[in-house]
């Protein structure tokens, strides 16, 4: 199977005719090719998006735009199985996770399709003889750099609000997983999106991605991925004074007080780190437990970890493989060096029988107590590794929770209502979950980070503000 670029409603090969092999993470074998887009292809896509804005799309009512997005949501639901199969093949994730991803993408287009014509402006009382209104307008051409961990969901998360607000998009999905983004583009055309409103340029980050974010024809960029590349995106867009939203991962704490409902917390905490094999920006990767219940609770978590199983999508177990050889080596290096340095490994999951020895599988690992300044306690591993640490009291819990460069999500487990409120205020993060954990939460909930987790907000109605700007119109009358 070979997949092409989508530019101005047509599927085309890259101008240079080059391709990239797509690797199955369960076997390390190539199973299809995608087009290797470069600057020339990005340029054609940006020009196509601008032409779309100058054409019927730019004049379409918000209601009509919303209807197209809602039709797309219905098509996604109808093709849910196919999308899930593709996502699972491309990323190696269990089928149940891939199915949930497909359902979430549909929900993004449903939510933002419904919201498209409910974005109202303002009127402002001003001097006598003046009418002043503030209207929301699209940025123009929006650039979307999509990562490999949740390709389909990320496409829905950034594209649906952008289109709802009337932008025209150029999407650069990850070279490691982009098949569902191409399928979603096919469905978007079927739903009636005019040519050029959505363009997809597959390719490497350093080629297609860098060319897109540095292109003088884009007016806004959204990026999800590593802090290092986030900085490059920021520098590239700054040269053209283009605003961007950056979502750069986290080291999210699960904070368990001694009065918490431990039986309720345990399975949710385990799920929040092993979901998608830990390759989730909002994974709860630090387990902070109050001293009095530390031993008991960590032992419960260790039991859960020992029961975890890793396998292929069809096996539908707790975890799939890492996405690629680089990520596989990185996560294994974290685990090996922690063991070598004497950090206690408390429990490990198991790989299923019969897996390819070339697959990028890693057994989930629970370490503890992890020294507070150790890499396992501070760095984003992006794998199924949970680092447990004890804390003494509320003050200590806040200090420890805020002791990383990140601030994306936090979980607080306590039955004390006042403490819930205090903790929610004092933790530096974009989301706080109390006695629950949503790994980023639903489509309705604004999401994004503080500190090195990035800035700007996606999801919820706030995303519509990010994906648009305002125009103030002042009219004088006699």
Q: Is 376 in the site for ligand NAD (CB under 6 A)?
A: no
CA dihedral over 434, 440, 446, 449, signed as positive or negative? positive
Pick one of 111, 294, 297, 382: the residue that binds ligand NAD (CB under 6 A).
382
Q: Which residue is nearest to ligand NAD (CB)?
A: 205
Q: Is 284 in the site for ligand NAD (CB under 6 A)?
A: no
Nearest to 174 by CA among 199, 152, 210, 145: 145
What's the CA gap between 289 and 255, in Å, rounded?
6
Tokens of 54: 């100058």
Q: Is 147 in the site for ligand NAD (CB under 6 A)?
A: yes
Q: Is 225 in the site for ligand NAD (CB under 6 A)?
A: yes
- Scanning 58-66, 125-133, 245-253, 362-370 for contacts with ligand NAD by CB under 6 A, the matching segment is 245-253
How many positions of this chain bind ligand NAD (CB under 6 A)? 26
Q: Is 431 in the site for ligand NAD (CB under 6 A)?
A: no
CA dihedral over 343, 348, 354, 359, signed as positive or negative? negative
Least distance from ligand NAD to the Cβ atom of residue 381, Å: 7
Q: Is 149 in the site for ligand NAD (CB under 6 A)?
A: yes
Q: Is 41 in the site for ligand NAD (CB under 6 A)?
A: no
Least distance from ligand NAD to the Cβ atom of residue 221, Å: 9
Q: Is 283 in the site for ligand NAD (CB under 6 A)?
A: no
Q: Is 379 in the site for ligand NAD (CB under 6 A)?
A: no
Q: Is 206 in the site for ligand NAD (CB under 6 A)?
A: yes
Residue linked to tokens 């929770």: 401
Cβ atoms of 151 and 180 within 8 Å: the answer is: yes
Nearest to 226 by CA among 289, 157, 145, 131: 145
Active-site entry in 207, 247, 380, 466: 247
Least distance from ligand NAD to the Cβ atom of residue 90, Å: 13
Cβ atoms of 458 and 150 within 8 Å: the answer is: no
Least distance from ligand NAD to the Cβ atom of residue 105, Å: 16
Burial class, 43, CB count within 10 angstroms (exposed 0-12 / middle 13-18 / buried 19+): middle
What's the CA gap between 372 and 335, in Å, rounded?
16
Cβ atoms of 475 and 130 within 8 Å: the answer is: yes
What's the CA gap between 207 and 228, in Å, rounded?
16
Pick one of 101, 247, 318, 458: the residue that binds ligand NAD (CB under 6 A).
247
Q: Is 285 in the site for ligand NAD (CB under 6 A)?
A: no
Per-residue binder mask for ligand NAD (CB under 6 A), 96-135, x = binder: ----------------------------------------
Q: Is 205 in the site for ligand NAD (CB under 6 A)?
A: yes
Q: Is 226 in the site for ligand NAD (CB under 6 A)?
A: yes
Q: Which is nearer to ligand NAD, 380 or 458 (CB)?
A: 380
Q: Is 248 in the site for ligand NAD (CB under 6 A)?
A: yes
Q: Is 175 in the site for ligand NAD (CB under 6 A)?
A: yes
User: In the window 318-357, what residues touch ligand NAD (CB under 6 A)?
Assistant: 327
Q: Is 249 in the site for ligand NAD (CB under 6 A)?
A: yes
Has 190 been annotated as catalytic? Answer: no
- Scanning 5-13, 124-132, 187-195, 227-235 for contacts with ligand NAD by CB under 6 A, the matching segment is 227-235
Q: Angle at CA 84, nearest 5°, toward 80 and 85?
A: 120
Pick one of 34, 35, 95, 145: the residue that binds ligand NAD (CB under 6 A).
145
Q: Is 213 in the site for ligand NAD (CB under 6 A)?
A: yes
Least distance from ligand NAD to the Cβ atom of residue 392, Å: 30
Tokens of 294: 């530390």
Q: Is 232 in the site for ligand NAD (CB under 6 A)?
A: yes
Least distance from ligand NAD to the Cβ atom of residue 261, Å: 30
Least distance from ligand NAD to the Cβ atom of residue 227, Å: 8
Least distance from ligand NAD to the Cβ atom of residue 421, Å: 29
Pick one of 209, 253, 364, 430: the residue that binds ligand NAD (CB under 6 A).
209
Tokens of 74: 């219905």
* Residues binding ligand NAD (CB under 6 A): 145-149, 172, 174-175, 205-206, 209-210, 213, 224-226, 229, 232-233, 247-249, 281, 327, 380, 382
Instruction: Report, as residue numbers or ranges, the catalytic residues.
Output: 247
């Amino acid at each position: 199977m070979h997949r092409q670029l989508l530019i101005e409603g047509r599927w085309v090969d890259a101008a240079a005719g080059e391709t990239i092999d797509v690797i199955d993470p369960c076997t390390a074998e190539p199973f299809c090719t995608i087009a290797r887009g470069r600057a020339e292809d990005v340029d054609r896509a940006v020009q196509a998006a601008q032409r779309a804005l100058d054409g019927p799309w730019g004049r379409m009512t918000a209601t009509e735009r919303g209807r197209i997005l809602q039709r797309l949501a219905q098509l996604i639901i109808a093709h849910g199985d196919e999308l899930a199969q593709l996502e699972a093949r491309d990323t190696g994730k269990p089928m149940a996770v891939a199915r949930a991803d497909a359902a979430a993408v549909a929900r993004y287009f449903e939510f933002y399709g419904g919201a498209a014509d409910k974005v109202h402006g303002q009127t402002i009382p001003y001097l006598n003889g003046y009418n002043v209104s503030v209207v929301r307008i699209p940025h123009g051409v929006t650039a979307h750099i999509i990562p490999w961990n949740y390709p389909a969901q990320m496409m829905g998360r950034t594209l649906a609000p952008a289109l709802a607000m009337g932008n025209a998009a150029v999407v650069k999905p990850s070279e490691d997983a982009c098949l569902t983004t191409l399928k979603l583009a096919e469905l978007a055309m079927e739903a009636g999106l005019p040519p050029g409103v959505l363009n997809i340029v597959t390719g490497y980050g350093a080629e297609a991605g860098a060319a897109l974010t540095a292109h003088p024809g884009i007016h806004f960029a959204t990026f999800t991925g590593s802090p290092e590349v986030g900085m490059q995106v920021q520098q590239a867009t700054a040269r053209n004074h283009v605003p961007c939203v950056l979502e750069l991962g986290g080291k999210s704490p699960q904070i368990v007080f001694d009065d918490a409902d431990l039986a309720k917390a345990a399975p949710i905490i385990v799920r929040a780190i092993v979901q998608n094999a830990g390759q989730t920006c909002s994974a709860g990767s630090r387990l902070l437990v109050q001293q009095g219940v530390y031993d008991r609770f960590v032992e419960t978590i260790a039991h859960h970890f020992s029961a975890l199983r890793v396998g292929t999508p069809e096996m539908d177990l707790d975890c799939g493989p890492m996405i690629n050889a680089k990520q596989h080596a990185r996560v294994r290096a974290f685990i090996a060096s922690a063991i070598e340095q004497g950090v206690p490994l408390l429990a490990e999951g198991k790989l299923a029988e019969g897996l390819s020895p070339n697959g990028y599988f890693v057994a989930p690992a629970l370490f503890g107590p992890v020294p507070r300044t150790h890499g396992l306690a501070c760095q984003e591993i992006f794998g199924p590794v949970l680092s447990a640490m004890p804390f003494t009291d509320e003050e200590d819990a806040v200090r420890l929770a805020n002791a990383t460069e990140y601030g994306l999500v936090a979980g607080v487990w306590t039955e004390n209502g006042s403490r819930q409120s205090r903790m929610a205020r004092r933790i530096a993060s974009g989301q706080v979950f109390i006695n629950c954990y949503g790994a980023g939460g639903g489509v309705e909930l604004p999401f994004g980070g503080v500190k090195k987790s990035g800035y700007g907000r996606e999801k919820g109605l706030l995303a519509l503000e990010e994906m648009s700007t305002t125009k103030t119109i002042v009219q004088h009358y006699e």
